[in-house]
Chains A and B, each alone.
Chain A
Amino acid sequence: MSSSRSLTSRKSSKEWGFESDFTSALPQCTRDRRTGRGISEEKQCWLIKHAPKSRLELAMHKKKVEKVFQVLTDSLTQKRHKIIILTGPPGVGKSATVRALAKDMNCSLEEWVNPIMTYEVGVEYESEVSKFKSFMLASSRYNSLFGDQTDQDIVRKPNARKLVLVEELPHFLVRQPQEFWDIIKTYSRTGLYPVILIISDSSNVVKIPPDYLNISFNPVAETFMSKVLKSICQKEKLGEIDVKEIVARSEGDLRNAILSLQFNSTTMDHGAVKGPTKRRKVEQKLTTDNAGKDTTLFFFHALGKILYAKRVEDSKMDCDDATLGRRQLQFVPEQVAEKCAVSGGMFTEYLHHNYIGFQNQIENTLLVTESMCDSDVISSYWTDEKEAFSRLDWYAKSLTGRGVVFSKDESFLPKFMPLCRPVQRDISKTCHELQEKCRDVFALQHMGTNSSFLMDTIPFFKKIGYKARNSEEYSLIHKMCSYKTSTKCGVSLNNTDGVEEEKESHKSSCKSKEDADMVISKEMEEEIADFSD
């Protein structure tokens, strides 16, 4: 049992290199795997080289560090929080904190690594669930025979304090979350040492039960980040570098920032400065084209840019006609549109859903709506040739972008309002589903002409008091015959919650549908009772 455990943990450093375990990997990774010779310092990854070794080196707010420290000591001494969950966006320092603190507190760190499922002859198949279970069981009871892999500085004590770290979440968490949380629960009752779970889940796939202590980490502040980057630059003797661009692009992800710093600095000269007196005060510009993160966030920025349509102040009108002339834009709509990695159709959908808040006069909305219609016609044109397709896409985006920008009145300054997701696809999906259901449920009655049935006959069902034959028919009729008018008539544009209210009324209508379903069930029982009579 323990051997398998230690096998798995020992595999971590060798098989997976330096992915998760900075400090433990330190001795191994300085060796070139192929030749066995030490990797020269130059070629090492800066993430490892400059990893924080103590809690003073952590790039986050002191108070946060203190809090985590407090929690950990509490859990070790007073046995209070057995399960600690750390959440937050990637690269903000969650595992770095844990390791640094573990060192400070003289704790050994036991880590779970996802095992490779090998089917060896003679070894019985063990499912991942059971492997995890045994890991948790063993880590709480037994100490490692092989000494601590984390750091050879820590003197091995028989009752050494231990922290169990689960950073690499087991694969079955997504499909069988209940089992995972059951194991954790059992552990919390029986285990000796605290378990730290690190969930850097940005897509909210994993649902965390609220009963465990949850410490959330914020993205790294710009000051901290620039401090760290600058210190790395100093250590690497790169001289003064303008790190503003990298900091802005990385959006709170320190790991990403360090990596892009290293990557981009390879294109620069390294000042192999001999002697501390010579200092390069030349600010070297980094080529930061590649330093950005992925562009999904960029999409909302792009939408915002186009919707707000900021123009350069004090620039000339480009046309003498008062109605047609506009001042110069601060950006080029086509370029903004190209930077988003979305199709023309999607781009138009988002703009269409959100543009009204930025309009103050109905005459101006004419321009936008026209351009959106034309753009949709262009996007719907199907062609097999890929080039033509992408060209048309470009035109569609350009058309919409320019239409929105042109129609916005400069003098009108709406307050901040959040952008919403378009609902057009959901609506058409609902429509399709309803149609199919009607077709299946009322098959014999409409005898093929579904469309006229939907329009002519079904609306009268309710009024005539049609007795539904089963609950499906009933709920279908109910859905088809009820029209919800929006509860707010006149969404004020100055209201910051303008568009959100629309969303809410949508939500509330959904809720009322749920209530309606409840009512339906009672009514339905009565109806069926009537029918059976």
Chain B
Amino acid sequence: MALWVDKHRPKSLSQLDYHKPLAQHLKKLVNSGDFPHLLVYGPSGAGKKTRIMCLLREIYGAGVEKLRIEHHSFNTPSNKKIEISTIASNYHIMVNPSDAGIYDRVVIQDLIKTIAQTNQLDSEKMREFKVVVLTDADRLTKDAQHALRRTMEKYMSKCRVIMCTNSISKMIPAIRSRCLGIRISAPNQEEMTSVLNLTCRKEGINLPPELAERIIAQSERNMRRALLMCETCKVQQYPLSPDQTVDDPDWMTFVKQTAMKIIEEQSPKRLLDIRSRLYELLAHCIPPETIFRTLADELVKHCDGTLQKKVIQAAANYEHKLQLGSRPIYYLEAFVARFMAMYKGFIQDAIMDFDDFDFDES
């Protein structure tokens, strides 16, 4: 059973719905013959993976779409065996180096070396190089990035690297200078609307424009999420009505409920409760950065004035510390505790002001 996201994914550069000038450039790049290493970056759900697949299809033809799962095992210098599974076709291989944890350097070097050493079954039509796609490249350790830059140089003739990452600032400048950076920004409202309408037409469904608007607003310019939300709406109730409820992902609802609980009561008791909810989120593999962001945004909605600024500053502070530490629950809890203290003080001040005000009046 295929989701709409996968079913209606554009397969070639000409089928892309937005960022068309970029698609043109990419086509030219492919045809020019000298293809550099690429660094594709952009927010989640903007279409990076889609475009990489289209690009590969442009380079190698339809054979790229025959995917299979391969398992590789590598030996680290400390004699530990790492098993990685990759998705590959005859022309390219897709790997997520953060699967290997701290041994990603070894995995990448070995993999690229292996790829570079195997020759293509040569025919004139084929390219001489293979492509290695590294997904989640911002999770690479600095060690791996330094090693990668050397490896990229060395095996340039046989192997091209396409990196896919959310934020470019996590890549070291050396890698950025060796790659052509391709920025994929999130689609704007009109683009998203047109895509949604197109998809619904293909599915034979009538999408009321108000519902489309609400979906787009709630999806935070994330195309993937918007399509999934749309599909959920259809499953929940068809024919679609303009005032249908649009569901958030579960974890987001959970975080919003947590924020409500924090606003309701500020005490150590409540903090204990919140802690167990945070543990629940962490156990569902939601990254702590996302929890910070969503929680901060939610909490800010219930504050005003100077408190908002303080909240966001506290969130930034604790999130930064979280990157340096190793146990995320401490920082999440510390942030909640600080918010509680600030909010409590804020409420008490407001009440006192109110009382004073009354007193003055009378």
Q: List residues of chain A with CB under 8 Å of any chain B CB.
A: 345, 348-349, 352, 356, 359-363, 365-366, 369-370, 372-374, 376-377, 379-380, 423-424, 427-428, 430-431, 434-435, 438-440, 443-445, 447-452, 454-457, 459-460, 463-467, 480-481, 483-486, 489-493, 502, 505-506
Judge if B145 is at the interface, Cβ distance under 8 Å: no
* Cβ distance A435 to chain B, nearest Cβ, rounded Å: 5
Q: Are B329 and A439 within 8 A (Cβ)? A: no
Contact B337 A463 (CB under 8 A): no
Please determine whether B135 and A435 come into contact, CB atoms closer than 8 angstroms. no
What would 4 more interface pairs be, CB under 8 Å, given A466-B3, A485-B280, A490-B270?
Answer: A366-B337, A379-B325, A449-B136, A502-B272
Q: Determine the distance from Cα of A490 to Cα of B261 in the docked complex, in whole angstroms.
A: 11
Q: B327 touching A424 by the CB < 8 A rule?
A: yes
Q: Are B136 and A448 in contact (CB under 8 A)?
A: yes
Nearest opposing residue in chain A for B284, CB measure = A480
What's the minimum C-beta distance from B277 to chain A, rounded to whole angstroms? 7
Cβ-defined contact, A483 with B228, below 8 A:
no
**Which single member of A365, A424, A481, A486 contacts B277 (CB below 8 Å)?**
A486
**In the complex, what residues of B have CB within 8 A of residue A376's CB?**
325-327, 330-331
Provide a sorted-by-A list of 24 A–B residue pairs whose CB atoms are within 8 angstroms: A356-B275, A361-B267, A365-B271, A369-B337, A372-B330, A376-B330, A380-B325, A380-B326, A424-B329, A428-B282, A434-B284, A435-B285, A449-B136, A450-B99, A454-B285, A456-B222, A459-B250, A460-B249, A463-B236, A464-B232, A465-B235, A480-B285, A481-B250, A506-B276
Among A363, A445, A451, A459, point to the contact of B251 (Cβ < 8 A): A459
- Whether B133 sits at the interface, judged by CB under 8 Å, is yes
B286 to chain A, nearest CB (A): 7
C-alpha gap A448/B333 in the complex (Å): 32
Which residues of the partner chain B approach A366 to less than 8 Å between Cβ atoms? Answer: 334, 337-338, 341
A464 contacts B164, C-beta separation under 8 Å: no
Q: How far is the CB of B52 from chain A (nearest CB, A)?
A: 9
4 tightest A-B CB contacts, nearest first: A448-B135, A369-B334, A459-B249, A376-B325
- Given the known inter-chain contacts A448-B94, A483-B284, A491-B273, please indicate yes or no for A372 contacting B3, CB distance below 8 A: no
Task: Give the distance in Å from the alpha carbon of A361 to the alpha carbon of B164 in the complex.
Answer: 47
Interface size class, chain B: 35 or more
Q: Which residue of chain A has the shortest Cβ distance to B270 in the bound complex? A: A490
Verify A449–B330 contact, CB threshold 8 A.
Answer: no
**B69 beta carbon closer than 8 Å to chain A:** yes
Contact A493 B285 (CB under 8 A): no
The residues of B that contact A434 with a CB separation of less than 8 Å are 283-285
Segment 330-350 of B: residues with Cβ below 8 Å from A: 330-331, 333-334, 337-338, 340-341, 344
Q: Across the two chains, which residue of chain A brings its CB closest to B44?
A: A452
Contact A455 B286 (CB under 8 A): yes
Complex-state Cα separation, A349 to B333, whole angstroms: 13
Residue among A434, A455, A505 facing the most chain B CB atoms (10 A cut-off): A455
Q: In the complex, A451→B165 CA distance in Å? A: 11
Closest to B248 in A: A459
Inter-chain contact B321/A373, CB cutoff 8 Å: yes
Indicate if the CB atoms of B277 and A485 lie closer than 8 Å: yes
User: Do residues A427 and B235 form an inter-chain contact, with CB atoms below 8 A?
Assistant: no
Closest to B165 in A: A449
Minimum CB–CB distance for B95 against chain A, Å:
7
Which of B96, B235, B338 contacts A448 (CB under 8 A)? B96
B84 to chain A, nearest CB (A): 10
Q: Which residues of A contact B270 (CB under 8 A)?
A: 490
The answer to whether B45 and A452 touch across the interface, beta carbons within 8 angstroms, is yes
Identify A451's interface contact among B136, B236, B250, CB under 8 A: B136
A491 vs B133: C-alpha distance in the bound complex, in angstroms?
50
CB-based contact B231/A455 at 8 Å: no
Contacts of A452 in B (CB 8 A): 44-45, 224
Output the nearest chain A residue to B340 by Cβ-Cβ distance: A362
Closest to A452 in B: B44
Minimum Cβ distance to chain A for residue B161 (Å): 14
Q: In the complex where A372-B334, A380-B325, A483-B254 touch, is A444 in contact with B272 (Cβ < 8 A)?
A: no
Contact A493 B268 (CB under 8 A): yes
Q: Which of A438, A444, A449 is close to B135, meaning CB atoms less than 8 Å apart?
A: A449
| A450 in contact with B136 (CB, 8 Å) | yes
List of B residues within 8 angstroms of A456 by Cβ: 44-45, 222, 224-225, 228, 249
Residue pair A373, B344 in contact (C-beta under 8 Å)? no
Asked if A460 contacts B271 (CB within 8 A), the reply is: no
What A residues does B225 contact at CB under 8 A? 456
Interface mask (B298-318 → A, CB under 8 Å = 1, otherwise 0): 000000000000000000001
Q: Assuming A434-B285, A502-B272, is B164 touching A449 (CB within 8 A)?
A: yes
Residues of B close to A484: CB separation below 8 A: 280
Query: Among A431, A450, A486, which residue has its beta carbon within 8 angstroms of that of B96?
Result: A450
Interface residues of B in 140-157 (CB under 8 A from A): none
| A373-B318, A463-B247, A486-B276 known; A448-B87 Cβ under 8 A | yes
Whole-angstrom CA separation of A229 from B166 in the bound complex: 71
| B193 sits at the interface (CB 8 A) | no
For the complex formed, measure the closest distance between the CB of B328 and the CB atoms of chain A, giving whole angstroms: 8
Q: In the assembly, what is the distance between CA of A465 and CA of B236, in Å?
A: 10
Task: Write the chain A residue with the least CB distance to B268.
Answer: A359
Q: Are A431 and B272 in contact (CB under 8 A)?
A: no
Q: Once the chains bind, are A370 and B250 in contact (CB under 8 Å)?
A: no
- Which of A365, A448, A450, A451 gathers the greatest number of chain B CB atoms within 10 Å? A448
Chain A residue with Cβ nearest B95 = A448
Minimal beta-carbon separation of B340 from chain A (angstroms): 5
- Give chain B residues whose Cβ lies under 8 Å from the Cβ of A450: 96, 99, 136
Q: Which of B264-295 contact A (CB under 8 A)?
A: 265-273, 275-277, 279-287, 290
Query: In the complex, which residues of chain A have a beta carbon less than 8 angstroms from the beta carbon of B44?
Result: 452, 455-456
A447 in contact with B135 given A431-B285, A463-B247, A466-B1 (CB within 8 Å): yes
Centre residue among A360, A365, A466 by max chain B CB count within 10 A:
A365
B6 interface residue per 8 A CB criterion: yes
The answer on a CB contact under 8 Å between A448 and B232 is no
A362, A370, A428: residue with the most chain B Cβ atoms closer than 10 Å: A362
What CA separation (Å) do A372 and B275 show in the bound complex?
Answer: 15
Q: How far is the CA of A361 from the CA of B341 in the complex (A)?
A: 9
Whether A463 pairs with B325 at a CB distance below 8 angstroms is no
Give A374 to B32 CA distance when docked, in angstroms.
54
Chain B residues contacting A493 (CB-CB under 8 Å) are 268-269
Residues of A contacting B229 in the complex (Cβ-Cβ under 8 angstroms) = 460
Q: A435-B285, A491-B269 are in contact. Are A370 and B327 (CB under 8 A)?
A: no
B324 lies within 8 A of chain A by Cβ: yes
Q: Does B67 contact A (CB under 8 A)?
A: yes
A88 to B286, CA, bound (A): 46
Is B254 a contact partner of A492 (Cβ separation < 8 A)? Answer: no
Are B271 and A362 neighbours in the complex by a CB distance under 8 Å?
Answer: yes
Which residues of chain B are near A361, meaning CB under 8 Å?
Answer: 267-268
Question: In the complex, which residues of chain B have a beta carbon less than 8 angstroms from the beta carbon of A348?
Answer: 330
A372 vs B254: C-alpha distance when bound (angstroms): 26
B5 on interface, CB distance cutoff 8 Å: yes
Nearest CB on B from A325, distance (A): 20
Q: How far is the CB of A442 from chain B (nearest CB, A)?
A: 11
Indicate which residue in B228, B273, B331 contacts A490 across the interface (CB closer than 8 Å): B273
Q: Which residues of A contact B67 (CB under 8 A)?
A: 444
B3, B6, B49, B325: the one within 8 Å of A377 (CB): B325
**A459 neighbours in B (Cβ, 8 Å):** 249-251
In the complex, A506 Cα to B267 Cα: how many Å? 22
The 8 Å CB contact of B334, one of A356, A370, A480, A490, is A370
Nearest Cβ on chain A to B247's Cβ, whole angstroms:
6
> Do A365 and B337 touch across chains, with their CB atoms under 8 A apart?
yes
Expressed in whole angstroms, the Cα–Cα distance for A167 and B290 within the complex equals 57
**Which of chain B's residues have a CB closer than 8 A to the CB of A454?**
285-286
